[in-house]
Structure 1
């Protein structure tokens, strides 16, 4: 197996470990219907250049990444596929449409989108999650800082 695979696996394991830790402490996840939706938004410079290339992501001090995973809300917590659409709106009312990419690695499924931001800019996220005839809305807010 190549180095990129191991680096990617490491990043995913960090996210899963972080999501599990947050779950234990009441962190960044929301119960939405039959789902447990984990979410995180961070600067794109937090990921390594080879991983960004592998997923078609742009690294920049002015670009963020939104990472969402959806788990079935039962004892197995199995990853779920869904269709995600959404927007990010800053406090001035400027809106960016989010385009999510589905990433499947083994049993893990997560969705990535990018957005542009300025230093100390706050965005409010409104993300529709659809699976068959089931639909839920994830709402959260994040402040971004330029590196």
Structure 2
């Protein structure tokens, strides 16, 4: 199952696994996989399929949440919300789109950046009474 979700992330990103920089973090019972990349790395047909845009200064964020405590780590439907902060501490709210394909569930959003800008992401993941925050930063550059 995990390989299926990771494979879908490769497909959405539209580039080879060798160049893929996916990260994951254990948050409670969840294994959260996340990837932030320049939207120009998306193939045009993939961007169109998922209702995403492509631009030199547009970042795409992909998140999938797996239940780390169960065999085969099944994908989880969760509530995902959050914001991104630029180096001037300006915040932009992120609007996530849920994508379900077979057993895979992932959440996509996009945000603007300026060349060589490091963005800090603050993502809240909720399911029932369980809630965790994923925090990470990523430097982006225009292609």
State the TM bucket, normalised to the shorter chain.
Answer: 0.7 to 0.9
Structure 1: runs of 5 or more not aligned: 1-10
User: Of the candidates 40, 44, 63, which is equivalent to residue 49 of structure 1?
Assistant: 44
Relative distance call for 1:47 and 1:106 in structure 2 (3 A) is: same
State the distance in 1 between where 2:94 and 2:9 align: 25
Deviating beyond 3 angstroms after TM superposition, the runs of 4 or more aligned structure 1 residues are 15-18
User: Of the candidates 124, 127, 136, which is equivalent to residue 140 of structure 1?
Assistant: 136
TM-score between the two structures when normalised by the length of structure 1: 0.83
- Secondary structure at 1:135's aligned position in 2? strand
Aligned-residue RMSD, C-alpha: 2.3
State the distance in 1 between where 2:43 and 2:11 align: 14
Instruction: Spell out the pairing of 1:106-145 with structure 2 (5 A cutoff).
Output: 106-145=102-141
Q: Is the Cα contact below 8 Å between 2:39 and 2:59 reproduced in 1?
A: yes
Instruction: Spell out the pairing of 1:1-147 with structure 2 (5 A cutoff).
Output: 12=8, 14=10, 28-74=23-69, 75-147=71-143
| Count of residues paired in the alignment | 132
State the distance in 1 between where 2:52 and 2:24 align: 24
Q: Is the Cα contact below 8 Å between 2:9 and 2:62 reproduced in 1?
A: no
User: Which structure has the highest helix share of the two?
Assistant: 1
Query: Paired residue for 2:3?
Result: none
TM-score between the two structures when normalised by the length of structure 2: 0.85
Relative distance call for 1:15 and 1:78 in structure 2 (3 A) is: farther
